Structure formats: structure tokens, C-alpha cells
Amino acid sequence: MITYLGKEYACPMEMTLDLIGGKWKALILWHLAIDGTLRFGMLRKQFPKVTQKMLTQQLRELERDGLVHRQVYQEVPPKVEYSLTDIGASLLPMLQALNEWGQGFAKEGCPSRKPALTAVERSTAGSTAGSTVRESVRV
């Protein structure tokens, strides 16, 4: 049993997935690792589909967990920059591996996701007349 910030985890993998498992967390960490220190507005531009509220929440959780550093500058308008902590930067090899895996998967695809034969296709598999039917009922 592992305890971190008052939460108990059954194993290190469970804790790791909790720390980086938000929809946007791994992407935030990736961009901070690749692009370096970024202001909030630049992070927003990186993720046009995420709401400001969700991005703020994910950044706060990453900061709370010690993976991201938030630097506030006392100026008008307010300036806030985000960067990886040393612990956050230690995730880079794992993020690179995930990125490479995703590139390969996008290129090769998943063999089990290819269209399966339906019952109609299986019953007409031997007949040439069924070829038009087979092509039209792929799922």
C-alpha cells in the first residue's frame, strides 16, 4: 500500500495513473517538456478544445502533485508561467514512449478493429452472388 498526499494506492501504477490520468494532464506535461516554460495563454492555444476552467483545474492538480511549477509575476496584467519540476521532467521518457507508440499505432492501426464479417456475410461467404451483400453490410 502506498500513501501519497493522503490518498492510498494499491500499487505504484495506480498512483502514477492518478497523477497523470486526467484527459489533458499528459498533454500538458508533454508540451511543457517539449516547449519549455509556457504562459497560460500559450497553453490555451495548444488545446483549443479544452475549456479555461478544465485547463486551470488540470494545471492546479499537476501543481498540487508537484509535477508542474506555477510562477506568478506581480504585474499588470497578471503574468503566470508554468514549467515542469524535476519530478515532472522525470516523466519525459515515459511520455516519449507513449508518443512513439501512438505514432506507430496511427500508422499501422489495430488489426482487431478491421471490419468484421456479419452473419449475412458469413452465410454467403462461399457464393459469388453474395459479394455485393458482403461489401454493403460491413460494420
Name the residue type at position 118. Answer: T
CB atoms within 10 A of CB 68: 22
Residues of the chain with pLDDT under 50: 129-139
pTM of the model: 0.74
Tally of residues, the chain: 139
Distance CA 46, CA 36 (A): 13
The confidence score (pLDDT) of residue 115 equals 57
pLDDT at 78: 85
pLDDT value of residue 134:
42
pLDDT digits (tens, 9 = 90+) for 34-62: 999 999 999 999 988 999 999 999 999 99
Dist CA 4 CA 68 (whole Å): 16
The CA–CA distances, whole Å, from 63 to 56, 77, 127 equal 10, 22, 63
pLDDT at 7: 87
> How many other CB atoms are found less than 10 A from the CB of residue 74?
6
Architecture of domain 2-108: Orthogonal Bundle (1.10)
Q: Which SS3 state, helix, strand or coil, does residue 68 take?
A: strand
Domain ranges in the chain are 2-108, 111-139
